[in-house]
Structure 1
Amino acid sequence: MAGAGAQGGGGICPGLMWSIVWLLVLFFFAWPLAGLFAGLYILLLPFSACIAPIKDVCEPLLKGVQFPLICAQGAVDMKPMCS
């Protein structure tokens, strides 16, 4: 079916729309948030060597630092945010 797009839905290219949405989330949400998390991660990580509960805080911070990677992969794969 010509013009069905990568996801099999209607429209010219629904995957392109999702890529644009992913890029907007990347620029306006993921990068600023990752910058904040990276600063906190760098600040707290040395203390996790002697204070064990800080390791539990550093793991989610690391996931937040990797959030721009998730957004970029979503844009490249043109995958919907809902799946």
Structure 2
Amino acid sequence: MGNIIFSLIWLIILICVSFWVANIAAAFYIVILPFTVCIEGLTALTDFLLSVIQFPRYCTESMMAGKGFG
């Protein structure tokens, strides 16, 4: 078990930030993804948006491990 203070901070980040950011990124991802077939340059953008969509998972893993920010 990691540090309980860091776990609480990660929980706050998870609830207050990561869900909102992931939802906004998901909306852009859904709109842009079909255009990657025609425009190859958008692939890097959709890869980045996919990593942003997975931010809540990262927060949850860090919360469960009690990891710090370093």
Aligned to 1:34: 22
* RMSD across aligned positions (CA): 1.1
Aligned to 1:25: 13
Q: Percent identity over the alignment?
A: 29
Structure 1 position 72 matched with structure 2 position 56:
no
Aligned to 1:57: 45
> How far 1:66 moved relative to its partner?
0.4
User: RCO (CA 8 Å, sep 6+): is it higher in 1 or 2?
Assistant: 2
Rg larger in 1 or in 2?
1
Structure 1 position 44 matched with structure 2 position 32:
yes
What is the aligned length?
70
Q: For 1:63 and 1:79, how far apart are their aligned partners in 2?
A: 19
> How far 1:77 moved relative to its partner?
0.5
Instruction: Give the TM-score normalised by structure 1.
Output: 0.80
Encode CA deviations 1:7-32: one digit per residue, 9 max, x unaligned.
6xxxxxxx111000000001111110
Instruction: Give the TM-score normalised by structure 2.
Output: 0.94
Runs (4+) of structure 1 moved beyond 4 Å?
none
Q: Which has the higher helix share?
A: 2
